[in-house]
Amino acid sequence: MKYEVDQKDPRFKISHREAWIGIILVTINFIWWFGFAYGMGSKSVESYSYVWGLPAWFFYSCVAGFVVMVILVVFAVKFLFKEVPFEDEGGNSK
Amino acid sequence: MNWEVMIPLIIFLIVIFFIGFWASKQLKNTNTFLEEYFLGGRQLGGFILAMTMIATYGSASSFIGGPGVAYNQGLGWVLLSMAQVATGYFVLMVLGKKFAIVARKYNAVTLIDFLKERYQSKWVVLLSALSIIIFLFSAMAAQWVGGARLIESLTGLSYTAALFLFAASVMVYVIIGGFRAVALTDTVQGVVMFFGTLILLVATVIAGGGLSNIISDLSAENPNLITPFGHDGSLTPLYVSSFWILVGVGVVGLPQVTVRAMSYKDSKAMHKALIIGTIVVGFIMLGMHLIGVFARPILPGIDVGDKVMPMIAMEVLPAWLAGIVLAAPMAAIMSTVDSLLLIVSSAVVKDVYLNYIKPDATDNNIKNISLTVTTVLGVLVFLMALSPPDLLIWLNLFSFGGLEAAFIWPVVLGLYWNTGNKFGAITSMILGVGSYILFHTYYPNAFGMHTVVLPILISLIGFITVSLATNHSFNKPSDGKLQTDGKEGVF
């Protein structure tokens, strides 16, 4: 037991929260991607509309979806993520 | 031989070589050889961390195989490839700070070190080492074949000569420089990949006469090319969505990616890497696959998918610029191969040799063994790649899925679920890899999903069921402490 990991380490609470944020982000990403691709892309090709020359389903799902995810990740990191030290000088464990 | 294309490529190889050489100097003045050689002393900053993760992950299939398939399938394949945006943030967020902290406490240098301390089981270690060695070795061979073919098609050298050139340039810096050389060269390679994609995308759009023009050409040839369903309508939403497991969230289980999640310096580095990583990986995947699709009206009738990317670069760019851009797939392949070589070597040296064959090896001893093993592995892959197997992209995906099925739950649940124990981990690894191989052989793409989905579910069920069952029969918590094999004893 020389490398005891203290599960009550307060840093882990932050870390668990951030892991959940990751799962929430990937869920949003998937829904956005799936919704626009198959919601708009399942129509017949003749009735497609276009944004910047690209089919609208593709533009919203892949191009806009990518930009939205970058914005969400930046937001999450800047406002929701906390900095914690990784080394053990904090007096927990040992 | 086309010297205008060759010269930028040669310059690129020389630059990479010198960076590796420079990094090896760091290696000499360190007294913790293992941590330095296999993990860069846990000192990576945010930019390098992001780049090494992307470059390791982005391989021949993102730059050569993927655009080739997109050329044939149309926008549906670009849609599929965009599942990979998730890799830019998901791995680092989910493993996150907890993995970094725990890995430091365990003093873990490899993923297997982490599993060893977490589960305290020889069998977990041996099974992990075995799957890493088998699967990553075959992945490495596939990548070398890709690299050599690329050099072959660009230079007109014979396959063997091309393979030798490629192998020699990668091996030298990995062997002498270790992880730090790999990470630094990955960074340069990542930058080359990013700008290569940007230049080629812009040039391809211009050569095709603008976006609207390209899209209407595609739709005139076959309207299915601009739907999400592939050229013959066979890409179902379920099949495409299942790639979110294979190339999106499942990447958490890939040892070559996971080990990077223990290599960074501090929280700041991780935060920065999340942002840079998402932007760069998303841009490269979107750009490269779009290039594949857009190449179709410009260069119709290419029948070997792997040739699309080199041919379109030569077509739409002046030769010297094509040389620079074609350094991008070369960079992608090199940066994957170098990491794989190092991680297979670490599995042999650190996880098998030091754990079970000679635990009392001296530092000098370890150093010699590490260098020797890395060299021998490199030579072995070279020999394997001499008679190359076909279907590069599938070989690569096979090793991908097998490793994900083996490691995803032992790593993720090992980190977040205290009841998980060694019995669960062993069951999950055997079920994951075993069922992957069976499905792949007898019932590929079961129920219309990519083969990887069911093995990952099966290994999850195995992990949870067996952990719970053994937890009950072995641990009657008498004094508020659980006490079988170590780690659960904390709750």
Cβ-defined contact of A34 to B241 (cutoff 8 Å): yes
Across chain A, mean pLDDT equals 87
* Among B3, B4, B1, B9, residue whose Cα is nearest residue B325: B9
State the complex-level ipTM: 0.89
- With a CB cutoff of 8 Å and minimum separation 6, the contacts of B101 are A9, A11, A12, A15, A84, A86
Domain annotation covers residue B469: no
Ranges under pLDDT 70 in chain A? 1-5, 88-94
- Using the predicted structure, report yes or no on whether residue B14 has a pLDDT greater than 60: yes
Q: Which residue of B has its CA nearest to A60?
A: B79
Is A23 part of the contact surface with chain B (CB cutoff 8 Å)? yes
List chain B residues with CB under 8 Å of A53.
210-215
Q: Which of B71-75, B98-102, B301-305 has the lowest mean pLDDT?
A: B301-305
Cβ-defined contact of B96 to A38 (cutoff 8 Å): no
pLDDT on residue B319: 86
Across chain B, mean pLDDT equals 86
pLDDT on residue B208: 93
- Using the predicted structure, report yes or no on whether residue B1 has a pLDDT greater than 70: no
- Using the predicted structure, report yes or no on whether residue B444 has a pLDDT greater than 80: yes
pLDDT on residue B22: 82
* Among B399, B406, B409, B392, residue whose Cα is nearest residue B146: B392
Distance CA B179, CA A91 (A): 31
Distance CA B331, CA B342 (A): 17
Domain annotation covers residue B286: yes
CA pseudo-torsion sign B156, B160, B165, B169: positive
H/E element holding A10? Answer: helix A10-41
pLDDT on residue B285: 94
Cβ-defined contact of A77 to B275 (cutoff 8 Å): yes
- Using the predicted structure, report yes or no on whether residue B199 has a pLDDT greater than 50: yes
Q: Which residue of B has its CA nearest to A19?
A: B94
Cβ-defined contact of B105 to A88 (cutoff 8 Å): yes
Cβ-defined contact of A34 to B94 (cutoff 8 Å): no
- Using the predicted structure, report yes or no on whether residue B68 has a pLDDT greater than 80: yes
A59-79 pLDDT per residue, tens: 999 999 999 999 999 999 999
Rg (CA), chain A: 21
The domain ranges of chain A are 22-80
Distance CA A24, CA A82 (A): 17
Cβ-defined contact of B226 to A55 (cutoff 8 Å): yes
CA distance, residue B378 to nearest chain A CA (Å): 35
List chain A residues with CB under 8 Å of B213.
53
Distance CA B141, CA B158 (A): 18
Q: Which long-range contacts (CB under 8 A, 24 or more apart) does B365-370 make?
A: B366/B33, B366/B34, B367/B33, B367/B37, B370/B33, B370/B34, B370/B37, B370/B38, B370/B178, B370/B345
Over residues B286-310, mean pLDDT: 91
* Highest mean pLDDT pick, A2-11, B16-25, B46-55, B90-99: B90-99
B46-65 pLDDT per residue, tens: 898 988 888 888 877 788 88
Kindly give the residue spans of alpha helices, DSSP state H, lying in B136-227: 137-155, 159-207, 211-221
List chain A residues with CB under 8 Å of B41.
none
CA distance, residue B333 to nearest chain A CA (Å): 25
B124-152 pLDDT per residue, tens: 999 999 888 888 887 888 888 888 888 88
Percent of chain B with pLDDT over 70: 92
Q: Which residue of B has its CA nearest to A39?
A: B228
Domain annotation covers residue B435: no
- Using the predicted structure, report yes or no on whether residue B488 has a pLDDT greater than 70: no
* Among B425, B329, B484, B455, residue whose Cα is nearest residue B114: B425
> In this complex, which of A3, A11, A26 lies closest to B86 when CB atoms are compared?
A26
pLDDT on residue B29: 62
B159-191 pLDDT per residue, tens: 888 888 888 888 888 888 888 888 888 898 889
* Among B63, B72, B109, residue whose Cα is nearest residue B326: B63
Q: Which of B227-236, B272-281, B318-327, B394-403 has the lowest mean pLDDT?
A: B394-403
CATH number at residue B19: 1.20.1730.10
- Using the predicted structure, report yes or no on whether residue B35 has a pLDDT greater than 90: no
Higher-confidence residue of A35 and B365: namely A35
pLDDT on residue A63: 95
Cβ-defined contact of A74 to B275 (cutoff 8 Å): yes
- With a CB cutoff of 8 Å and minimum separation 6, the contacts of B278 are A69, A70, A73, B85, B88, B89
Cβ-defined contact of A73 to B226 (cutoff 8 Å): no
pLDDT class for B386, splitting at 50, 70, 90? confident
Is A40 part of the contact surface with chain B (CB cutoff 8 Å)? no
pLDDT class for B210, splitting at 50, 70, 90? very high
Domain annotation covers residue B274: yes
* Residue numbers of the domain that contains B292: 3-391
pLDDT on residue A35: 95
Between the alpha carbon of residue B67 and those of residues B36, B62, B88, B299, B449, the distances in Å are 36, 7, 20, 13, 21
pLDDT on residue B480: 40
Domain annotation covers residue B25: yes
CB neighbourhood size of B419 (10 A): 16
Q: Which of B21-30, B36-45, B73-82, B241-250 has the lowest mean pLDDT?
A: B21-30
pLDDT on residue B487: 43
Higher-confidence residue of B491 and B68: namely B68
Cβ-defined contact of B267 to A82 (cutoff 8 Å): yes
Is A75 part of the contact surface with chain B (CB cutoff 8 Å)? no
Pairing of strands A54-55, A50-51: antiparallel
Q: Tell me how far apart the terminal alpha carbons of chain B are, to the nearest angstrom.
A: 67
Q: Mutate one of B106, B249, B278 to test the A interface: name it (highest A CB count within 10 A).
A: B278
Over residues B28-44, mean pLDDT: 78
Distance CA B216, CA B32 (A): 60
List chain A residues with CB under 8 Å of B228.
37-38, 41-42, 57-58, 61
